[in-house]
Structure 1
Amino acid sequence: MWKEFKEFAIKGNVIDLAVAVVVATAFGNIVSALVDNLIMPLVGVVIGGVNFSGLYYLIGDARIEYGLFIQAIVDFFIIALSLFVFVKVINKLKMKQEEIEEEEVVEPQVELLTEIRDLLKKQEQNN
């Protein structure tokens, strides 16, 4: 079992996943800072000076901080939009790469067919 785990961990998929998690965490922190320090204060100014982080309801002894929830929703939408754009760009680049590879495969086939045609014409002329 240890040997199998070691092979699994060394394959690279686990390393790639670990790097992705670290990058995603850092990206999440950047987006949170963007939302908390730039976007939400501007939204608050636009809607009349409301500070979303301070919005809450008191129900008995419970403090329901719905302003923080609103900020979390904005965080989510910004992260989702960023990931959508990133995946869209990656897919577009992959499609371009596939088109280039497809063109590279087609050109030698066309050349080969042209050579075969020319050889057949020469044979017909010689006969």
Structure 2
Amino acid sequence: MLKEFKAFINRGNVLDLAVAVIIGAAFSKIVSSLTDDIIMPVVGKLFGGLDFSGYFIRLGEIPANFAGSANSYADLKKAGVPLLGYGEFITVAVNFLIVAFIIFLIVRAVNRAIPLEGPADTPDVAVLKEIRDELKKRP
């Protein structure tokens, strides 16, 4: 079983996947910083200067021994108060859209750089295609 496991690990696909996961994690941090530190403050400023991550609806009571701010999403969440954090959801959704758009651009660039061509036709397939095309022209 150890020999099979070594063969599995040494396959190129597994190593490629491991590299992709590591790069994806690093890329995720970059996108999170871009969203949290650059995009969302600008969007928040446009919508009245508020931080989107602070938009929430409290669904439960605040505990009696609560010591934080009643307007702080982080403090209330840490205290275990049930919250509907739609501002945090908006931030995560923007993160997703940025990542999806960047992946789209990468895939688009790769598809343009490496055109997908089918295998070359053998001579008999080429003749059959010519016959098919001639038959299509008939009334």
* TM-score normalised per structure 2: 0.66
**In structure 2, what is the equivalent of residue 72 of structure 1?**
92
User: Per the alignment, in what secondary structure is the counterpart of residue 115 of structure 2?
Assistant: helix
Could you tell me which residue of structure 2 aligns to residue 24 of structure 1? 24
Structure 1 distance, partners of 2:104, 2:37, is 23
Whichever residue aligns with residue 91 of structure 2, its letter is: Q
Match of residue 63 from structure 1: 83
Matches within 5 A, 1:76-115: 76-95=96-115
- Whole-angstrom CA distance in 2 between matches of 1:22 and 1:59: 37
Q: CA deviation at 1:35?
A: 0.2
After superposing on structure 2, the runs of 4+ consecutive aligned residues of structure 1 that deviate more than 6 Å are none
Name the aligned partner's letter for residue 30 of structure 1.
Answer: I
The one-letter amino acid of 1:40's match is M
Specify the code of the residue in structure 1 equivalent to 2:2. W
Q: Distance in 2 between matches of 1:15 and 1:87?
A: 20
> How many Å separate the matches in 2 of 1:70 and 1:20?
26
CA–CA separation in structure 2 for the residues paired with 1:56 and 1:47: 15
Q: Say which structure, 1 or 2, has more relative contact order (CA 8 Å, 6+ apart).
A: 2
- Please tell me the root mean square deviation across aligned C-alpha atoms, in Å: 1.6
**Taking every aligned residue pair, what percent have the same amino acid on both sides?**
46
State the aligned residue count: 98
Residue 37 of structure 1 corresponds to 37
Query: Which ranges of structure 2 fall in alignment gaps of 5 or more residues?
Result: 62-81, 121-139
How far off is 1:67 after superposition? 0.8
Using the size of structure 1 for normalisation, the TM-score is 0.72
Deviations 1:9-35 (A, max 9, x none): 112211111000000010011000000
The superposition leaves residues 47-106 of structure 1 with CA deviations (integer Å, 9 ceiling, x where unpaired) of 22121011111112322221111100000000000000001101111129x6xxx9xxxx
2-structure distance, mates of 1:81, 1:12: 27
Where structure 1 has 5 or more consecutive residues not aligned to the other structure, the ranges are: 103-127
